[in-house]
């Protein structure tokens, strides 16, 4: 079956599973941000696609890379013309949030 981008419905299901596994302090930070996931453009070398931004902490963003099927962290410095141009894969939402919040 060819690759398909993650749907918002599937992302919300994944987020619910990941949030259930977060330590209480991170879950509180996520919930207090009160920011629903939304699509942002990203550059992958072959053109512009969209990924979901799921959390923001100052100049750091947590996105879901649906090609790699991992959460990732991007810095504001890596946003050009409104598109995310570089990010670091972190695996779970927990590790991505730790990198975004505590780095």
Q: Is residue 70 part of a domain?
A: yes
Q: Is residue 1 part of a domain?
A: no
Its domain, for residue 24, covers 8-102
Q: Is residue 2 part of a domain?
A: no
Q: Is residue 75 part of a domain?
A: yes
Give how far Cα 68 sits from Cα of 4, 5, 8, 49, 84, Å.
12, 11, 17, 13, 15
Q: pLDDT digits over 17-54, tens only?
A: 999 999 999 999 999 998 899 999 999 888 899 999 99
Q: Is residue 3 part of a domain?
A: no
- Looking up tokens 């302090």, which residue turns up? 25
pLDDT at 1: 73
Q: How confident is the model at residue 91 (pLDDT cuts 50, 70, 90)?
A: very high
Residues 1, 37: Cα–Cα separation, whole Å: 26
Q: Is residue 35 part of a domain?
A: yes
Q: Count how many domains the chain has.
A: 1
Asked whether the whole model's pTM tops 0.75, one would answer yes
- Which stretches of 1-103 are DSSP H helices? 8-21, 24-33, 93-102
């Amino acid at each position: 079956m060819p690759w398909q981008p993650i749907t918002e419905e599937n992302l919300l299901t994944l987020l619910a599973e990941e949030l259930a596994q977060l330590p209480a302090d991170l879950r509180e930070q996520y919930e207090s941000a009160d920011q629903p996931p939304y699509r942002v453009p990203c550059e992958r070398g072959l053109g512009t696609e969209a990924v979901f931004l799921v959390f923001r902490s100052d100049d750091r963003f947590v996105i879901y890379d649906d090609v790699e099927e991992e959460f990732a962290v991007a810095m504001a410095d890596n946003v050009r013309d409104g598109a995310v141009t570089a990010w670091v894969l972190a695996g779970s939402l927990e590790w991505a949030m730790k990198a975004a919040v505590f780095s």
